[in-house]
Amino acid sequence: MAAILELYKRAEVSNCAELNHFVFPACENGNINPTRPQASWRTAWRNLTRAIVCPACKQVQNPGSVCCDAKCNADIKDIRSPLEGLRFHDLRHHAITELAESQASDQTIMAIAGHVSQKMLAHYSHIRLEAKRQALDALAANRADAEQQATGSGRYVTRNVTNGTNLPAAKPQVVERNGRPVRARTADLYRVNFVGGLGTDEVE
């Protein structure tokens, strides 16, 4: 909002604040035409990324030999912008990399970035070396924990993780219930002796 208000103030000075004038007017060779929209913001981005701050008077300005403020006149020829050389598209690369490092799913990243293929996602996802190092350190830590749980042989034992759990043998149970397993007019008590999960009927 502050930026829009600043643009409006500038437009008022240049008599370019009419209702039918564009907020971002066309400008060629320093001549502003508010009836046409801005076709490109390349110059604006270049000025933004090259702008420096005078260390003496804190004035924001383009690079040069001396400060643009005549009262300051400080030497600024060796000052460079920290954003010099930054491309607008680099922001997209950085955002996708941050999403990838935050463990966001590929579907989420592709939905945000508008990618339609894994190949394009891999092109933009520049996972940093530090993130790769952390992943390998975590892998090494997991292996060290597994070795500590091994049976004192000093090597990783896989039989505890690859074999199924040995369940205790089932104990015989006696279950009493009314009625026979076959249809009968008179239901009486019978026992089913379950041995190891298989039953044999003993009818009294």
Q: Taking CA 192 as the corner, what is the angle to CA 189 and CA 196, rounded to the nearest 5 degrees?
A: 170
Reported as a single tens digit per residue, the pLDDT across 41-92 is 888 899 899 999 999 999 999 998 999 988 898 999 999 999 999 999 899 8
Residue 186 is predicted with a pLDDT of 46
Mapped onto helix, strand or coil, the DSSP state of residue 37 is strand
Mean pLDDT of 14-27: 89
Per the prediction, the chain carries an average pLDDT of 76
Domain boundaries, the chain: 10-39, 51-85, 87-126
Helix axes 88-101, 106-113, angle to 10 degrees: 160
Reported as a single tens digit per residue, the pLDDT across 160-201 is 455 555 556 656 555 455 545 555 444 444 444 444 444 444
User: Long-range pairs for 121-129 at CB < 8 Å and ≥24 separation?
Assistant: 121/96, 124/92, 124/93, 124/96, 124/97, 125/96, 125/97, 125/100, 126/93, 126/97, 127/97, 127/100, 127/101, 128/97, 128/101
Reported as a single tens digit per residue, the pLDDT across 107-160 is 888 888 887 788 888 777 767 667 778 888 888 887 777 777 665 555 555 554
